[in-house]
């Protein structure tokens, strides 16, 4: 096992990794920007090194500073979390050349599956269905027009380097294709420094269903079932659940096998996720792979009874898949709500600032992964997620009711959060009946039927 791990991230995921390390008896080194001096990940790690100014381009994305910290701290491994450098193959290569273990897949597997266009190629080769679309990168508007007419409208123009719902535009006809193409390119260039795009058929109101993969360095690849992440805003997940209300044992078997086969075909190691769109007839299409731990790994942990971050670390240290992971079976239902520092009444505008009072729910079946506390200042520089609230239950209904109860207990003052939004969804009849797809949030927002409830009425300032 490793002696000391550098955690190359911030916020709740940095804490998540530090907690796993503590349980494994591994020392931790946190890195932080000047904006995160008071952050919990800095306080809970054994050691911490400041790596630069608040903007992530000056700190959490600076490979040379992180590697200097790794040398100074004499660590033997680096956990990248999600976002930032987690899917940066160059970073994994630098770690290799410094003889520091990157806790994740090999750089070559990241090259293969990190780029969406290349991942589609590998899926086709492995015999896994992908969304119909262009054969590769689409160079200009003229080619885009040809491909779109061949594939048939509506289409989605997508950045090969895309992530977090950015660099993606729908087009419904020839007239809107040109601007959609240019906008996708521009946004991708700005967000990812790579403007390459390709075209996919737009699947109308599908479910987003993804499979968790775990693979060790000895050729064992397993899946840990699915997560339904169809509750999205602007193509970004806000609520996730496992199992999916759409899933049947037969479909799980088919999709799970496809996910494992694809992972095997690229020699995948460590944790990864195969994302699919599934239409109402149960047709599924691979869309991308995330070659890292995901924000919503928590619900899989609760349903399958394992610790995926500890497992990632053990795999990276050369251990075989733990038997309880290799043979895991689903035993409950779990839901996760992403609590963001955003104002749901003002179009989810981010609202950084000081949390004047923080009280988190507890009790049976409630889990919170968060770096927030009373007095914590949410900085404006990073992702607005401040907590993940997860509930677990024997059935889908009891899990929803537990989430409703937990949200009602969640008390955060000083800043606006998305707690009232989640509260309203837990009371929505269609959601409760499992009748939703990726268009759900937009539909209820447009119909104005969402009644935002004031958070925590039981506590008073």
Binding residues for ligand ADP (CB under 6 A): 82-83, 87, 131, 156, 161-165, 168, 192, 200, 202-203, 206, 208, 232, 235-237, 275, 277, 287-288, 290, 294-296, 383, 438
Q: Are 426 and 370 in contact (CB under 8 A)?
A: no
Residues near 116 by Cβ (< 8 Å), separated by ≥ 6?
158, 159, 160, 161, 162, 198, 287, 288
CB of residue 275 vs Mg ion: minimum separation in angstroms?
5
Pick the closer one to ligand ADP by CB: 40 or 156.
156
Question: Which of Mg ion, ligand ADP, none does 228 bind, CB closer than 5 to 8 A by kind?
Answer: none
CA–CA separation, 303 and 132 (whole Å): 33
Question: Which of Mg ion, ligand ADP, none does 353 bind, CB closer than 5 to 8 A by kind?
Answer: none
CA–CA separation, 422 and 409 (whole Å): 13
Question: Which of ligand ADP, Mg ion, none does 214 bind, CB closer than 5 to 8 A by kind?
Answer: none
* ∠ Cα 389 394 395 (to 5°): 85
The token duo for 172 is: 């419904």
Question: Which of Mg ion, ligand ADP, none does 83 bind, CB closer than 5 to 8 A by kind?
Answer: ligand ADP
CB of residue 213 vs ligand ADP: minimum separation in angstroms?
13
CB of residue 239 vs Mg ion: minimum separation in angstroms?
15
Region from 27-35, 46-54, 267-275, 333-341 binding Mg ion, contact rule CB under 5 A: 267-275
CB of residue 163 vs ligand ADP: minimum separation in angstroms?
2
Q: By CB under 5 A, how many residues form the interface with Mg ion?
A: 1
The token duo for 124 is: 């086709």
- Beta strand residue intervals within 145-263, DSSP E: 155-163, 166-171, 197-201, 207-215, 221-233, 236-242
Residues near 392 by Cβ (< 8 Å), separated by ≥ 6?
302, 303, 332, 333, 334, 365, 366, 367, 399, 402
CB of residue 114 vs ligand ADP: minimum separation in angstroms?
8
Question: Which of ligand ADP, Mg ion, none does 365 bind, CB closer than 5 to 8 A by kind?
Answer: none
- Of 234, 223, 366, 242, residue with least CA distance to 308: 223
Region from 274-282, 299-307, 326-334, 419-427 binding Mg ion, contact rule CB under 5 A: 274-282
Question: Which of ligand ADP, Mg ion, none does 5 bind, CB closer than 5 to 8 A by kind?
Answer: none
Catalytic residue at 234?
A: no
CB of residue 232 vs ligand ADP: minimum separation in angstroms?
5
Q: Which residue is nearest to Mg ion (CB)?
A: 275
The token duo for 379 is: 């900085």
- Of 38, 90, 30, residue with least CA distance to 60: 30
CB of residue 360 vs ligand ADP: minimum separation in angstroms?
21
Region from 129-137, 166-174, 176-184, 271-279 binding Mg ion, contact rule CB under 5 A: 271-279
CA–CA separation, 310 and 18 (whole Å): 10
Buried b (16+ CB within 10 A) or exposed e, 293-311: bbbbbbbbbbbbebbbbbb
Pick the closer one to ligand ADP by CB: 275 or 409.
275
- Of 300, 270, 132, residue with least CA distance to 210: 300
Q: Are 258 and 216 in contact (CB under 8 A)?
A: no
Q: Are 116 and 39 in contact (CB under 8 A)?
A: no
Pick the closer one to Mg ion by CB: 275 or 383.
275
Q: Are 52 and 34 in contact (CB under 8 A)?
A: yes
Question: Which of ligand ADP, Mg ion, none does 202 bind, CB closer than 5 to 8 A by kind?
Answer: ligand ADP
The residues pairing with 441 across neighbouring beta strands, listed in sequence order, are none
Q: Which residue is nearest to ligand ADP (CB)?
A: 163
Question: Which of ligand ADP, Mg ion, none does 302 bind, CB closer than 5 to 8 A by kind?
Answer: none
Q: How does DSSP assign 138-179, residue by residue?
A: --SHHHHHHHHHHH-SSEEEEEEEEETTEEEEEE-SHHHHHH
Pick the closer one to ligand ADP by CB: 162 or 420.
162
| Selected catalytic residue, list 120, 233, 292, 402 | 292
CB of residue 397 vs ligand ADP: minimum separation in angstroms?
25
CA–CA separation, 277 and 241 (whole Å): 15
Pick the closer one to ligand ADP by CB: 153 or 192.
192
- Of 448, 100, 107, 40, residue with least CA distance to 270: 107
Active site residues: 292
Task: Write out the residues near Mg ion by the rule CB under 5 A.
Answer: 275
């Amino acid at each position: 096992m490793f002696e000391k791990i550098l955690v190359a991230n911030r916020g709740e995921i940095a804490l998540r990794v530090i907690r796993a390390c503590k349980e494994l008896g591994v020392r931790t080194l946190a890195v932080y920007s000047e904006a995160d001096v008071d952050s919990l990940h800095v306080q809970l790690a054994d050691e911490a090194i400041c790596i630069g100014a608040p903007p992530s381009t000056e700190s959490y994305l600076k490979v040379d500073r992180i590697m200097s910290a790794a040398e100074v701290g004499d660590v033997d491994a680096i956990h990248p979390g999600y976002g930032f450098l987690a899917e940066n193959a160059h970073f994994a290569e630098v770690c290799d050349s410094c003889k520091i273990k990157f806790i994740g897949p090999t750089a070559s597997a990241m090259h293969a599956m990190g780029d969406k266009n290349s991942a589609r190629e590998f899926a086709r080769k492995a015999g896994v269905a992908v969304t119909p679309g262009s054969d590769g990168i689409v160079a200009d508007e003229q080619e885009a027009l040809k491909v779109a007419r061949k594939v048939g409208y509506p289409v989605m123009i997508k950045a090969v380097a895309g992530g977090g719902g950015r660099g993606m535009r729908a087009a419904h006809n020839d007239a809107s294709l040109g601007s959609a193409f240019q906008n996708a390119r521009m946004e991708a260039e700005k967000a990812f420094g790579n403007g390459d795009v390709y075209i996919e058929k737009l699947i109308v109101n599908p479910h987003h269903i993804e499979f968790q993969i775990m693979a060790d360095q000895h050729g064992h690849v397993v899946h840990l079932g699915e997560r339904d992440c169809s509750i999205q805003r602007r193509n970004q997940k806000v609520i996730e659940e496992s199992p999916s209300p759409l899933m049947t044992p037969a479909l799980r078997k088919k999709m799970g096998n496809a996910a494992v086969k694809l992972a095997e075909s690229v020699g995948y190691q460590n944790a990864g996720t195969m994302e699919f769109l599934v239409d109402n007839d149960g047709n599924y299409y691979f869309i991308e792979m995330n070659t890292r731990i995901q924000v919503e790994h928590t619900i899989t942990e609760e349903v399958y009874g394992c610790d995926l971050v500890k497992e990632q670390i053990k795999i990276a240290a050369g251990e075989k898949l733990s038997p309880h992971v290799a043979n895991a079976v689903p035993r409950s239902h779990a839901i996760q709500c992403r609590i963001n520092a955003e104002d749901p009444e003002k179009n989810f505008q981010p609202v950084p600032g000081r949390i004047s009072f923080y009280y988190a729910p507890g009790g049976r079946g409630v889990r919170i992964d968060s770096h927030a506390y009373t007095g914590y200042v949410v900085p404006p520089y990073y992702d607005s997620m401040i907590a993940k609230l997860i509930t677990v239950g024997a059935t889908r209904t009891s899990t929803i009711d537990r989430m409703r109860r937990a949200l009602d207990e969640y008390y955060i003052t000083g800043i606006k959060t998305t707690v009232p939004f989640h509260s309203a969804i837990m009371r929505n009849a269609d959601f409760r009946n499992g009748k939703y797809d990726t268009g759900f949030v937009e539909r209820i927002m447009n119909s104005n039927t969402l009644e935002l409830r004031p958070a925590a009425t039981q506590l008073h300032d």
